[in-house]
Amino acid sequence: MPATVRPTAADPALVTPLLPSLTGLRWVAAFVVFAYHVRNLGYFSGRAQGLLSDTMGAGATGVSLFFVLSGFVLAWAHRPGTRPTTFWWRRVARVYPLHFVGVVLAVVVAHVLMPSIVTTSSKALLANFLLVSSWHGPWWQAGNPVSWSLVCEAFFYLVFPLLIRVLHGARAGVLWAAVALSVLSVVVVPHLVAVLPGQLSAANWPLARLPEFVLGVTVACLIRSGSWRGPGVAASAVVAVAGFVAADRYPASPFALNGCTLIGFTLLIAALARADVAGVRTVLSSRPLVALGERSFAFYLVHLLVIDTLGALWPVADPRPAIGGLALTVLALAVALLVAAVLHRLVERPARTALLAVPGLFAPSRVSVVTR
C-alpha cells in the first residue's frame, strides 16, 4: 500500500501578505523613541523628569524593535526569484527620499537654531548622505542625528539577499540554530566591540546590530515554514514589557540596549503576525494605529529635530514646571506628526512611486506594496 502523501500547508506569507498589526507596532516603536528623546533633552525636571525616566528610560530599545521588525517584514515580503538588484532598488525607493529630506532639514535646523548638532566635517556629512557614516565611530550622529539607524538598515539591506537565500526554505534545525546564534551574538557582541579599535560602539556600529535583523528574518522563515510554536499576543506582550522594565532598571548593563528586550520583542512580533494571519484583530491593527504606523518612518526622521527646535524656541530656566514640559511635549508630538503626514503624502509616497516606475536593470517589473 503506497504511503499517504500529506499536503503541504500554504505559505502564510502568500495567503496574508499584509500584516497590519506590525504596521501599528512600528508606531509604538517610534513613539517610545520619541518619549526617550523628550526625556533626554530636558523638557521636564524634578519629579516629572524622574517619572519619565522611570517609564521611558529604556526608550532606546525601540530601535532594537525596529531592527528585528525590519528583518521579519522583509523576509515575510520576500518572493523567490526576486533579483537582488530589484530588492535593493525597492529599498532605495522606500528609504532614500525621506532620508535626503531629513538630512537637509537637519542641516537647516543645526545652522539656524541648534549649533550643538552642526556637522562640521563635510566628509562626515557626505557619509551620512550616503548612509555609511556610522561605520566610522566619531561620525555616528553626523547629519540627521537619528539617521545612524538608517546606516545600519542600509547594511542590513545589502546583506539581505544573501541571508534570505540561505534561510528561506531551510530546514527547521538550521533556522533554530540561526535563532540561537543571533541571540548569543547579541549577548557577546558588546564585549567584543569594546576591545576593538576605532571608537566603535555596540549601540550604533552596523555590524554589531546585524544579529537583531537576522533574528527577525529567521523567525519569519520559521513561521512561513510552519515550524514556529510560540506564545500568543498577551503572553508575548508581558515578556516584552518585562524586558523593557529590566532594561530601564539596569541602564548600566551591557544588555540594556537590546539584550533585555530581544526575546520579548521577537515573541511579540511573531505573535502579532500569527494573529493577523489567523484573522484575529488586535489593538495594533486598528485603523488609527495603522495610519500612524504608515507615517512612522517620516515621524522618526523628524521627531528629534522638532524636539530640538521647540526646545530652542521655548527655553525655560530650570526647574521647568511640569505643566510647561507637558505642554511642550504635546506640541512637539503634534508638530512632528503634522510634518510626518506632510512628508508622507508629498515626498515619501510620490517619490517611491516615481522611483519604482523607472525602467531599467534595478527597477522591478511591478510595484509591490508590503507592510514596510
What pLDDT, in 10s, does the model give residues 251-305? 988 899 999 999 999 999 999 999 999 999 999 999 999 999 999 999 999 999 9
Task: Please determine, for residue 4, whether its predicted confidence score (pLDDT) is greater than 60.
Answer: no
Confidence at residue 254, expressed as pLDDT on a 0 to 100 scale:
86
Task: Please determine, for residue 370, whether its predicted confidence score (pLDDT) is greater than 90.
Answer: no
Return the C-alpha cell found at 288: 488609527
Cα 214 versus chain centre, distance: 13
Return the C-alpha cell found at 43: 523638557
Return the C-alpha cell found at 34: 520619541
The mean-pLDDT minimum among 173-182, 240-249, 358-367 falls in 358-367
Nearest Cα to Cα of residue 282 among 14, 20, 17, 16: 20
199-203 CB contacts, 8 Å cutoff, 24+ apart: 199/137, 199/138, 200/137, 201/137, 201/140, 202/254, 202/257, 203/60, 203/257
Average pLDDT, the chain: 91
179-182 CB contacts, 8 Å cutoff, 24+ apart: 179/215, 179/218, 179/219, 179/222, 181/211, 182/211, 182/212, 182/214, 182/215, 182/218
Confidence at residue 45, expressed as pLDDT on a 0 to 100 scale:
84
176-217 pLDDT, tens digit per residue, is: 999 999 999 999 998 888 888 778 898 999 999 999 999 999
Domain boundaries, the chain: 21-356
Mean pLDDT of 137-158: 96
φ and ψ at 211, to 5 degrees? -55, -30
Task: Please determine, for residue 6, whether its predicted confidence score (pLDDT) is greater than 80.
Answer: no
Mean pLDDT of 326-352: 96
